[in-house]
Amino acid sequence: MADTVLLTGITGFLGGHLARELLTQGYHVRGSLRNPARADAVRQALTGAGTDISRLDFVTLDLMRDEGWAKAAEGARFVIHSASPFVTTMPKDPDDLIRPAVRGTERALTAAMAAGVERVVMTSSTAAIVYGRGRNGPKQLGPEDWSDSSPAGKLTAYTRSKTLAELRAWEMVKSQENRLAVVNPGFIIGPLLDDDPGTSGALVQRFLRGQVPIAPNLVLACVDVRDVARIHVAAMTAPEAGGRRHLSVFGDATIKEFGQIIARVRPEFARKMPKIGAPDWFIRLYALFDGDMRANVSELSYRPVLDSSRAKALLGRAPLRLDESVGAMVDSLVSRGLV
């Protein structure tokens, strides 16, 4: 009988690929939805990608409600907790992001440990490692490094939510850390499974529509969604993954370089890519009038070398190339009429 995996956040970009990887490897997937009406859309997306969904079922869970969590974890051997709120425009009240991220983590871990789940794999982010350091931050960072989550730090509401949620997870398993493995991916790109571009796809849409006229010196630390999914599934059973963080970035590009990659792999969009790189002083001035840009000012011109050796070992093969991942996302957006 197939081992059962409770997968939270199955409707997300990463969640769909996690479900596909799990089903392909023979697991029974119990996917969590906040809105049960979205189950059919998930089924259609997976079958459209050629996935056998005979071992897929659903449960209704909410990051901010206790109902259903204990029952959802019953009989599961593993839990992958990928559900977390994400926005591109920061809310006025940071707790609108922080509270559901932390409370959802608490509910997932509590239910998993009470049910005797063998291991929880949690999706965190490079946000919990890299951000808020300024251009003079360390030149190299790895899975032992943490972003400053204090109120006095320079993190946005989103980056604080990811950092605080992961810190809470490690606190909850302090006496049995081997039951938790964390994956810290960067900017996730790759092929879409449905017509929802998600946050990553929405940014690529802006490039393809010519809506990135100038390029601030911000770096996108990238990873293919298919690689991230494979790393999560490997982390469930690999003995060495327990009690460890797995920074997952296999390529990076500034905003201008990202546009150049799109132009190189899909020349028909070359004329819409940003041609002008904006100096940091200009972006700092512009940020006085733009809240979203202001939230990223501390990241200008910071490009550390990131140690993803643990994640690469779990991947078990060469990571997908950045140009391949970018091309796959562009092709998805075009073929689905989302440009």
31-44 tens-digit pLDDT = 999 999 999 999 99
Express as a percent the part of the chain with pLDDT over 90: 80
Do 45 and 33 contact (CB within 8 A), yes or no? Answer: no
Q: Give the mean pLDDT of 100-113.
A: 97
Q: Give the mean pLDDT of 256-265.
A: 97
274-291 tens-digit pLDDT = 988 888 777 777 656 665
Give the pLDDT band of residue 323 (cuts 50, 70, 90): very high
Res 88 pLDDT > 60: no
Give CA–CA dist 205/199, Å, rounded: 10
Give the pLDDT band of residue 324 (cuts 50, 70, 90): very high
| 219-224 and 251-254 strand pairing | antiparallel
Domain ranges of the chain: 4-335
Q: Can you give the three-state secondary structure of 267-315, one letter per residue?
A: HHHHHHCCCEECCHHHHHHHHCCCHHHHCCHHHCCCCCEECCHHHHHHH
**41-45, 89-93, 104-108, 123-127: the lowest-pLDDT one:** 89-93
Mean pLDDT taken over the chain = 92
Predicted pLDDT of residue 91: 60
4-335: CATH topology: Rossmann fold (3.40.50)
Res 115 pLDDT > 60: yes
147-189 tens-digit pLDDT = 987 765 667 888 899 999 999 999 999 989 999 999 999 999 9
Res 298 pLDDT > 90: no
**Eight-class DSSP state of 63:** T
Give the pLDDT band of residue 132 (cuts 50, 70, 90): confident
Predicted pLDDT of residue 291: 59
Task: Name residues whose C-beta falls within 8 Å of residue 56's C-beta, 6 or more positions apart in sequence.
Answer: 19, 23, 28, 29, 31, 42, 43, 46
Predicted pLDDT of residue 152: 59
Q: Is 217 helix (H, G, I), strand (E, B) or coil?
A: coil
221-253 tens-digit pLDDT = 999 999 999 999 999 999 999 999 999 999 999
* C-alpha closest to that of 128 among 76, 179, 182, 82: 182
* C-alpha closest to that of 17 among 185, 261, 246: 185
* C-alpha closest to that of 126 among 321, 276, 299: 299
**54-63, 142-151, 259-268, 305-314: the lowest-pLDDT one:** 142-151
Is 162 designated active site?
A: yes
The two structure tokens encoding residue 39: 């189950």
Predicted pLDDT of residue 179: 97
The two structure tokens encoding residue 16: 């769909």
Predicted pLDDT of residue 281: 75
E-assigned strand segments in the chain: 4-8, 28-33, 56-60, 78-81, 119-123, 140-141, 180-185, 187-189, 214-215, 219-224, 245-248, 251-254, 276-277, 305-306
Q: Give the mean pLDDT of 324-335.
A: 98
**50-64, 87-101, 310-324: the lowest-pLDDT one:** 87-101
The two structure tokens encoding residue 72: 């959802």
* C-alpha closest to that of 182 among 222, 226, 143, 124: 124
Catalytic residue among 71, 92, 139, 162: 162
Give CA–CA dist 78/63, Å, rounded: 18
